[in-house]
Amino acid sequence: MSDESAAAKQRIRREVRRARRALAQRDIRRRSAAAGRLVARTGAFHRADRLALYLPNDGELDPTPLMERARALHKRCYLPVIDTMLGERLAFAPYEPGTPLRPNRFGIPEPQVPRSRWATPRMLDVIFAPLVAFTPAGERLGMGGGFYDRTLEMRRHFRLWHRPRVFGLALELQKREWLPTEPWDVAIDGIATEAGLYPGPAALR
């Protein structure tokens, strides 16, 4: 990664975090509910049985409304956990109300369930991932830790990939017309915000 690309990523991350933190919690809840309604009407959501979501951190779009819709339809929900035994990749632990949580080293709560119940990405139908910024073409800029890129790197080696499908969730204010990209970035299938679906209405078909 060039110094110029690294500097651009850090600048964008600072800008987006500042903009998210400026929003009132009630505004984030309203936008999150709107995004959840959009996603819940898509074919990708309705066909999925096992879904991975996340718990919001640092002003991220809150997928809780979408999680509640999933549970009402008897879908199984999972949250990411850092799997240090697999080279700092993510596994996904089952989650439902009342599941004990414990913060990981970044302060993000993870389900405290036996490792034997964790799911690998290939066991899931859809992963809804957080992001820092995105483009209308569907490019994603993450937090910089590379966890999702490492976890999903197998997607880069296959022209056709059936599951899991991977979608980003974001606030519309996180959209940028351009983002610096790297060869190891893993492409995702689409992005949903409170305002629409990217790169187009068929993104989550």
Domain boundaries, the chain: 3-198
For residue 63, cis peptide bond before it (omega within 30 degrees of 0): no
The three-class DSSP label of residue 111 is strand
The answer to whether residues 166 and 127 touch, using CB atoms and an 8 Å cutoff, is: yes
Q: Does the predicted model carry a pTM greater than 0.85?
A: yes
Q: How far apart are CA 197 and CA 205, in angstroms?
A: 10
Q: How far apart are CA 192 and CA 169, in angstroms?
A: 5
What was the pLDDT predicted at 162? 67
Q: Is 97 exposed, middle or buried (0-12, 13-18, 19+ CB in 10 A)?
A: exposed
What was the pLDDT predicted at 87? 82
Q: What are phi and psi for residue 128, nearest 5 degrees?
A: -100, 115
What was the pLDDT predicted at 116? 96
The answer to whether residues 78 and 106 touch, using CB atoms and an 8 Å cutoff, is: no
**Per-residue pLDDT tens digits of the chain, which is 205 residues long:** 677 888 999 999 999 999 999 999 999 999 999 999 999 999 999 999 999 999 999 999 999 999 999 999 999 999 999 998 888 899 999 999 999 999 999 999 999 999 999 999 999 999 999 999 999 998 999 888 889 988 988 777 665 666 799 999 999 999 999 999 877 777 789 999 999 999 877 778 8
Q: How far apart are CA 17 and CA 115, in angstroms?
A: 33
Class of the CATH domain delimited by 3-198: alpha beta
Q: What are phi and psi for residue 129, nearest 5 degrees?
A: -110, 145
- Look-up of token digits 């017309």: 177
Q: What are phi and psi for residue 122, nearest 5 degrees?
A: -65, -15
- Look-up of token digits 């949580």: 101
41: tokens are 């009407």
